[in-house]
């Protein structure tokens, strides 16, 4: 395995300066970076910038009407976090499906976001919750909505010298979030389809508002199914709604055949799981 | 030196459960495994743990095409080649052939590349960074040739068989019901926990010693002698602690040992070749894919009257062990059922894909999957219980197999079936799942929840030991020595790879000599020390080599007791002092009354058969087609149980491997290259995917083995997949003919069924 030189700054400002000076590949938990390095997948980076010591990028906090996650927040921390369990249980559910204990102890939310895999399991949840990704550099910080963060196959809106510093998830009253991952096996599996659905409704008899449908592994990047969202907006979770929504979403996405699954399967399952989620919400 | 931590500090060995009867032939007990403490404490030395000062690192330059003319191996003149060594076919002193059945596979390709990842050249360097650099400066000059990937389109046949009994055409014509099916099963990777690994060390006598992860030291020994032109003594093969094999270290270590030895000769230093997982999956052997076409005929009164079977196995680019894999697959293709009219035609053909080889079950899981699918589909067509149908058809003592073998003894199909059926309450569960299915259909959707429950059954037989006259040709030897200093040592070439050889042989010896097990030593698997006991494959070790070990003990005991006039246990130490060492070499003698004609394929294909039944329960998610295998009840007839805990371990491991084969394990290829050649993409079941497994050990002893044992390793692999696929059918109503029964296939089958019922 090629081992590129690595620097480990102690402060965020030192990290920004290094990034401004030369092309570094950030490394947080390393659970994606090291797989690529040891497998010889893709051109190895010239230099690595270790973010692990930057305590400024750690921690989960409640800030008014938002939950804030430092970029270095691990899945184990998300699973252990009481605020997160109370206020955003679907996020905890999603974190619990990532790899297994070792990966959850080491893998970070910032890494999942910046890695920009179409199969990154946290990403549909970020899309469905209107998360904001805060990027930082020597020039300061800027906020990027999740919906415009992943721009193409493994492409992000980050500039070369920017890193993810934190993630802000607005907490909305009466919002429901559902998560479902379909993998090849029950643990340690990369998704064939991953779905996060959210809506706002104060009572079962009230129509859905602010519907968001985040999808992974069905396109070259994590996407929102906006046409299906628009259809669901203002509707009740009835059998008719579920039927039409599942047909809509299957038509809206353009998945591919790859080593993990088939386009037909992904299309069918996205529709069926959406149907199932609406049905469970409607309790019929 | 072996490290033996004091056992007193570890919990006492497991005591036997009361349901296991003592056989009289061997007393089952469950002592700790011999190498267990070292493995648990991390002191066991696997190949990569062995230190040889000054050793270089070796790597294989492999083809990146499936088929091409090889025009040259080009070394970049800009690189300083004096710091490394490079080996090509021209540097091989003897035959450029990997010793196996046919002389077709080169150690390093010349002229033609026949599969992706084929070895073409070797490089060794003093450190890994330099090795990587050197490898990057080697290029293969090739010109493409037209590859063949479809086995049905291949014209190159490595082996073919034709077994006939009765008149199939007439029987099918007169049958009241004919059920046809085509079944396709794909590659399966052994996925032993330790990758293939070998270290070659030059010897002072001009020979080479190799230390490696391997199943068959004498296969490697023969390969080294032949291609490096070495004497018996100059070629030395030493098995390091081995982290699993499952057949994947049966033939492959020969080519790897040759590679390491060629590099060690070239640089006159030890050379380490330790595969990483990617190389191991990309380049080493897999289970043969197969296409099995089946026609079964049933008479008006419900008898199985005809089986017409055609088998095509994809051997990959070279012959390897394909003729014997195909042979076992062919002989088992009818399943454990009496049928008067049978025709089985089979062939193993070449394609431009990496060669396939041995894997637990050795051809039988492929064909018995098809056999069991047929029986389950016939039961459905006749509207009888699959359990009841098997009761009618299964082999009983006195029945004759398609090769004309009369099953005289040790026939336990019925017992295995009945005990599994009883323990799983098969009929009761089946009635419940049928009711649930009916109510689902009548309501038009999955109104009772999106999980559908199903139960499925399979039955199988597995020939014990080598096929046909194989055991006779092996001429296996096993020895027991009373050394001059009064130690009792077992000398066998049989290897431990996790399955328990090192534990059960001392058990057998202790019992045969009447001494405590701790007084029995196990000599290292080093060809300079132990005889050739034949390969550690084909579930033959406990039965065949174990039998020889007991024979040697009986003779040793007689010699000592004759001299001393006292029981062996009381006299052997004094005997050793007075008479010096006594070593007994026990040679294999054909089992009496067992006779097979390799040319006509008539006669006793195996000295005995083991029998197995599995009953699986699954939940299928009707939205996603995901299958959760909830439980498997496995009843396996092992002849005699020697060590119940190890035996159950074999059943549990084999069952889980079969569950993976049935549900998720799949190699996808593009242009002859495996697409999922990493652990991120080749998935096997995790602990969360593992069903609850209930093991029932059935004992129908084989009289030809002094202890009655028949072997167990492969049995569970034959029944797991068809049982799971039958359970999926019970849950969903669709038959999945191709393995794995993936969610993609299940949803597609359900969709086309629904389209048909509407259209
Ligand atoms: C065995 C195994 C199982 C896995 N299972 C799953 C799974 O189930 N679901 C899933 O989604 N993923 C899975 N992964 C992938 C991986 O664990 C996750 O994507 C994880 O979140 C990556 O985080 P990390 O901190 O380890 O990232 P790293 O490997 O450190 O980095 C990943 C990428 O992000 C960049 N990067 C990291 N941090 C930052 C930052 N703060 N700012 C800018 N760029 C940054 C790096 O340069 C790199 O390109 C698995 C990986 C393994 C090895």
Contacts of B422 (CB under 8 A, 6+ apart): none
Compute the distance between CA of residue B236 and CA of residue B325 in angstroms, rounded to an integer. 28
Going edge to edge, which strands form the sheet with B271-274? B85-87, B119-125, B56-62, B271-274, B197-202, B208-212, B235-239
Q: What angle do CA B64, B93, B242 make, to 5 degrees?
A: 65
Distances (CA, A) of A21 to A10, A24, A162, B182, B394: 17, 9, 12, 64, 77
Question: Which chain B residues have a beta carbon less than 8 Å from that of A2?
Answer: 132
Find the distance separating the first CA and the last CA of chain A, reported in whole Å: 55
**Beta-ladder partners of B631:** B617, B692
Cβ pair B547, B533 in contact under 8 A? no
Residue in chain A closest to B686 (alpha carbons) equals A187
| Cβ–Cβ contact A97 with B under 8 A | no
For B600-614, how does the pLDDT look when each residue is reduced to its tens digit (9 = 90+)? 999 999 999 999 999
How far is A68 from chain B, CA to nearest CA, in Å? 31
Q: Say yes or no: domain B56-147+197-274 is CATH 3.90.1170.50.
A: yes
The domains of chain B are located at 36-44+476-587, 56-147+197-274, 406-465+607-759
Distances (CA, A) of B498 to B215, B425, B503: 11, 33, 10
Handedness of CA A192, A198, A204, A208 (dihedral sign): negative
Task: Give the percent of chain A with pLDDT over 90.
Answer: 96
The ligand 1 atom at the shortest distance from the C-alpha of residue A25 is 47
Q: Over range A237-241, report the average pLDDT.
A: 97
Q: Over range B454-474, report the average pLDDT.
A: 95
Q: Over range A141-159, report the average pLDDT.
A: 98
- Per DSSP, B534 falls in state -
What DSSP element (H or E) covers B406?
none
Classify B148 as helix, strand or coil: coil
For A90-120, how does the pLDDT look when each residue is reduced to its tens digit (9 = 90+)? 999 999 999 999 999 999 999 999 999 999 9
- The rounded mean pLDDT for chain A is 97
For B474-483, how does the pLDDT look when each residue is reduced to its tens digit (9 = 90+)? 999 999 999 9
pLDDT of residue B31: 94
Cβ pair B581, B489 in contact under 8 A? no
pLDDT of residue B449: 61
| Cβ–Cβ contact A41 with B under 8 A | no
- Please count the CA atoms within 13 angstroms of the CA of A164 that sit on its side-chain side: 32
Q: Which of A40, A43, A256, A265 to mutate to test the interface with B (most CBs of B within 10 A)?
A: A265
For B269-296, how does the pLDDT look when each residue is reduced to its tens digit (9 = 90+)? 999 999 999 999 999 999 999 999 999 9
For B494-542, how does the pLDDT look when each residue is reduced to its tens digit (9 = 90+)? 999 999 999 999 999 999 999 999 999 999 999 999 999 999 999 999 9
Q: What angle do CA B461, B462, B463 make, to 5 degrees?
A: 125
**Can you give B608-627 as a three-state secondary structure string?**
CEEEEEEEEEEEEECCCCCE
Q: How far is the CA of B627 from the centre of ligand 1 (A)?
A: 28
| Cβ–Cβ contact A259 with B under 8 A | yes
Instruction: Tell me if A264 and B743 make a contact (CB, 8 A cut-off).
Output: no
Distances (CA, A) of B292 to B214, B288, B289, B541, B737: 31, 12, 10, 30, 10
CATH topology of domain B36-44+476-587: Aldehyde Oxidoreductase; domain 4 (3.30.365)
Instruction: Give residue B21's pLDDT band: very low, low, confident or very high (50, 70, 90).
Output: very low
**Single pTM value for the model:** 0.96
E-strand stretches of B233-287: 235-239, 271-274
Going edge to edge, which strands form the sheet with A48-50? A6-7, A48-50, A25-27
Domains B36-44+476-587 and B56-147+197-274 share a fold: no
Residue A67 has pLDDT above 80, yes or no: yes
Q: Which CATH number fits domain B406-465+607-759: 3.30.9.100, 3.30.365.10, 3.30.160.340, 3.30.2130.10?
A: 3.30.365.10
- Please count the CA atoms within 13 angstroms of the CA of B194 that sit on its side-chain side: 25
pLDDT of residue B23: 46
- The rounded mean pLDDT for chain B is 95
Residue A99 φ/ψ, nearest 5 degrees: 45, -135
Contacts of A95 (CB under 8 A, 6+ apart): A75, A78, A79, A104, A122
Q: State both tokens at A12.
A: 């965020």
Residues with C-beta less than 6 Å from any ligand 1 atom: A 25-33, 35, 51, 71, 97-99, 103, 106-108, 110-112, 114-115, 120-121, 163-164, 188
Residue B418 has pLDDT above 80, yes or no: yes
DSSP β-ladder status, B341-350 and B304-316: parallel
Question: Which chain A residues have a beta carbon less than 8 Å from that of B664?
Answer: 184-185
Residue B727 has pLDDT above 70, yes or no: yes
| Cβ–Cβ contact B748 with A under 8 A | yes
Which residue, chain included where needed, has tokens 């965020």? A12
Instruction: Tell me if B278 and A39 make a contact (CB, 8 A cut-off).
Output: yes
Cβ pair B730, B627 in contact under 8 A? no
For B365-400, how does the pLDDT look when each residue is reduced to its tens digit (9 = 90+)? 999 999 999 999 999 999 999 999 999 999 999 999
Compute the distance between CA of residue B233 and CA of residue B694 in angstroms, rounded to an integer. 48
Q: State both tokens at B418.
A: 């009945």
pLDDT of residue B758: 78
Tell me what ipTM this predicted complex has: 0.95
| Cβ–Cβ contact B443 with A under 8 A | no
Cβ pair B298, B174 in contact under 8 A? no
| Nearest alpha-carbon partner for A156 in A194, A118, A107, A124 | A118
Q: State both tokens at A190.
A: 């990369």
Q: What's chain A's Rg over C-alpha atoms? A: 19
Residue B578 has pLDDT above 70, yes or no: yes
How far is B686 from chain A, CA to nearest CA, in Å? 7
Instruction: Tell me if A259 and B675 make a contact (CB, 8 A cut-off).
Output: yes
Instruction: Give residue B26's pLDDT band: very low, low, confident or very high (50, 70, 90).
Output: confident
| Nearest alpha-carbon partner for B52 in B188, B261, B222, B201 | B201
| Nearest alpha-carbon partner for B630 in B713, B694, B682, B684 | B694
Residue B24 has pLDDT above 80, yes or no: no
Q: How many CB pairs under 8 A join A and B?
A: 57
| Max Cα distance, chain A (Å) | 59
B72-95 per-residue burial string, b: 16 or more CB within 10 A, e: under 16: ebebeeeeeeeebbbbbbebbeee
Residue A144 has pLDDT above 80, yes or no: yes
For A163-200, how does the pLDDT look when each residue is reduced to its tens digit (9 = 90+)? 999 999 999 999 999 999 999 999 999 999 999 999 99
Q: Considering CB atoms only, which of A188, A259, A264 is closest to B668?
A: A259
Residue B194 φ/ψ, nearest 5 degrees: -100, 130
Distances (CA, A) of B329 to B163, B334, B338, B358: 12, 10, 17, 12
Residue B6 has pLDDT above 70, yes or no: no
- The conformational region for residue A283 under phi > 0 = left, psi -120 to 50 = alpha, else beta, is left
| Cβ–Cβ contact B82 with A under 8 A | no
The ligand 1 atom at the shortest distance from the C-alpha of residue A106 is 26
CB neighbour class for B111 (10 Å; exposed up to 12, middle 13-18, buried from 19): exposed
| Cβ–Cβ contact B743 with A under 8 A | yes
Cβ pair B337, B120 in contact under 8 A? no
Contacts of B583 (CB under 8 A, 6+ apart): B479, B480, B481, B482, B491
């Amino acid at each position: 395995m090629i081992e590129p030189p690595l620097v480990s700054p102690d402060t965020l400002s030192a990290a920004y300066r290094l990034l401004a000076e030369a092309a570094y590949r950030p490394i947080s938990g390393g659970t994606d970076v090291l797989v690529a390095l040891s497998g010889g997948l893709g051109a190895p980076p010239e230099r690595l910038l270790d973010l692990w010591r930057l305590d400024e990028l750690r921690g989960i906090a409640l800030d008014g009407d938002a939950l804030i996650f430092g970029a270095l927040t691990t899945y184990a921390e998300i699973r252990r976090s009481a605020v997160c369990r109370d206020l955003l249980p679907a996020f905890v559910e999603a974190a619990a499906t990532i790899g297994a204990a070792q990966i959850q102890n080491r893998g970070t939310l910032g890494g999942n976001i910046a890695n920009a895999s179409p199969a990154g399991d946290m990403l549909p949840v970020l899309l469905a919750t209107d998360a904001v990704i805060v990027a930082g550099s020597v020039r300061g910080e800027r906020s990027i909505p999740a919906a415009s963060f992943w721009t193409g196959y493994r492409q992000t809106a980050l500039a070369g010298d920017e890193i993810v510093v934190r993630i802000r998830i607005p907490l909305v009253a009466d919002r429901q979030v559902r998560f479902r991952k379909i993998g090849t096996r029950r643990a340690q599996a990369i998704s064939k389809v991953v779905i996060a659905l959210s809506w706002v409704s104060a009572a079962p008899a009230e129509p859905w508002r602010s519907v968001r449908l985040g999808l992974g592994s069905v396109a070259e990047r994590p996407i929102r199914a906006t046409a299906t969202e628009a259809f669901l907006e203002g509707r009740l979770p009835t059998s008719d709604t579920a039927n039409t929504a599942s047909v809509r979403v299957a038509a809206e996405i353009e998945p591919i055949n790859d080593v993990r699954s088939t386009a037909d399967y992904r299309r069918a399952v996205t529709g069926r799981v959406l149907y199932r989620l609406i049905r469970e919400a409607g309790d019929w | 030196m072996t490290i033996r931590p004091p056992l007193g500090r570890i919990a006492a060995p497991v005591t036997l459960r009361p349901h296991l009867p003592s056989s009289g032939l061997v007393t089952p007990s469950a002592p700790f495994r011999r190498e267990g403490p070292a493995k648990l404490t991390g002191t066991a030395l696997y190949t990569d743990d062995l230190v040889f000062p000054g050793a270089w690192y070796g790597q294989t330059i492999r083809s990146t095409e499936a088929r091409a003319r090889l025009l040259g191996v080009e070394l970049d003149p800009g690189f300083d080649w004096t710091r490394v060594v490079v080996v090509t076919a021209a540097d091989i002193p003897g035959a450029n052939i990997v010793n196996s059945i046919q002389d077709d596979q080169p150690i390093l390709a010349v002229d033609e590349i026949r599969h992706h990842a084929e070895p073409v050249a070797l490089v060794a360097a003093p450190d890994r960074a330099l090795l990587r650099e050197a490898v990057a400066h080697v290029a293969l000059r090739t010109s493409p040739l037209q590859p063949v990937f479809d086995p049905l389109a291949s014209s190159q046949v490595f082996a073919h068989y034709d077994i006939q009994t009765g008149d199939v055409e007439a029987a099918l014509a007169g049958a009241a019901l004919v059920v046809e099916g085509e079944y396709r099963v794909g590659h399966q990777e052994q996925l032993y926990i330790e990758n293939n690994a070998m270290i070659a060390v030059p010897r002072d006598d001009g020979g080479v010693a190799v230390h490696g992860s391997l199943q068959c030291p004498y296969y490697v020994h023969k390969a080294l002698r032949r291609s490096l032109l070495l004497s018996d003594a100059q070629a030395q093969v030493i098995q390091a602690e081995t982290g699993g094999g499952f057949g994947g270290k049966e033939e492959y270590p020969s080519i790897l040992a040759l590679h390491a030895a060629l590099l060690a000769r070239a640089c006159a230093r030890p050379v380490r070749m330790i595969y990483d997982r990617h190389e191991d999956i990309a380049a080493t052997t897999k289970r043969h894919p197969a296409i099995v076409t089946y026609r079964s005929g049933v008479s008006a009164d419900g008898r199985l009257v005809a089986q017409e079977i055609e088998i095509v196995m994809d051997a990959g680019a070279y012959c390897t062990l394909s003729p014997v894999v195909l042979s076992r697959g062919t002989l088992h293709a009818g399943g454990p059922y009496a049928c008067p009219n049978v025709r089985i035609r089979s062939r193993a053909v070449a394609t431009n894909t990496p060669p396939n080889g041995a894997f637990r079950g050795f051809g039988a899981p492929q064909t018995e999957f098809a056999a069991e699918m047929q029986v389950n589909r016939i039961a459905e067509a006749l509207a009888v219980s699959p359990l009841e149908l098997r009761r009618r058809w299964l082999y009983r003592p006195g029945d004759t197999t398609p090769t004309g073998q009369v099953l005289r003894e040790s026939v336990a199909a019925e017992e295995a079936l009945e005990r599994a059926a009883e323990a799983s309450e098969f009929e009761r569960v089946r009635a419940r799942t049928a009711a649930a299915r009916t109510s689902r259909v009548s309501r038009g959707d999955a109104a009772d929840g999106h999980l559908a429950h199903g139960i499925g059954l399979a039955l199988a037989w597995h020939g014990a030991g080598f096929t046909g006259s194989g055991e006779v040709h092996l001429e296996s030897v096993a020895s027991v020595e009373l050394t001059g200093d009064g130690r009792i040592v077992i000398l066998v070439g049989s290897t431990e790879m996790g399955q328990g050889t090192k534990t059960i042989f001392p058990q057998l010896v202790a019992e045969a000599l009447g001494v405590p097990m701790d007084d029995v030593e196990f000599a290292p698997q080093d060809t300079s020390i132990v005889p050739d006991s034949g390969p550690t494959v084909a579930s033959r070790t406990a039965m065949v080599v174990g039998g020889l070990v007991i024979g040697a003990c009986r003779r040793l005991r007689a010699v000592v007791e004759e001299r001393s006039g006292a029981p062996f246990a009381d006299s052997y130490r004094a005997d050793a002092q007075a008479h010096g060492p006594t070593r007994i070499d026990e040679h294999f003698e054909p089992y009496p009354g067992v006779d097979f004609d390799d040319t006509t394929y008539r006669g006793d294909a195996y000295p005995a058969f083991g029998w197995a039944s599995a009953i699986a329960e699954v939940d299928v998610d009707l939205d996603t087609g995901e299958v959760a295998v909830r439980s498997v009840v496995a009843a396996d007839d092992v002849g005699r149980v020697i060590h119940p805990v190890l035996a159950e371990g074999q059943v549990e491991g084999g069952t889980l491997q079969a569950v993976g084969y049935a549900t998720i394990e799949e190699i996808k290829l593009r242009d002859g290259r495996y697409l999922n050649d990493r652990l991120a993409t080749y998935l096997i079941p995790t602990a969360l995917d593992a069903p609850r497994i209930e093991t029932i050990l059935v004992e129908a002893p084989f009289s030809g083995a002094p202890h009655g044992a028949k072997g167990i390793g492969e049995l569970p692999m034959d029944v797991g997949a068809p049982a799971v696929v039958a359970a999926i059918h019970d849950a969903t109503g669709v038959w999945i003919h191709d393995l794995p029964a993936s969610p993609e296939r299940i949803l597609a089958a359900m969709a086309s069924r629904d389209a048909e019922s509407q259209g």
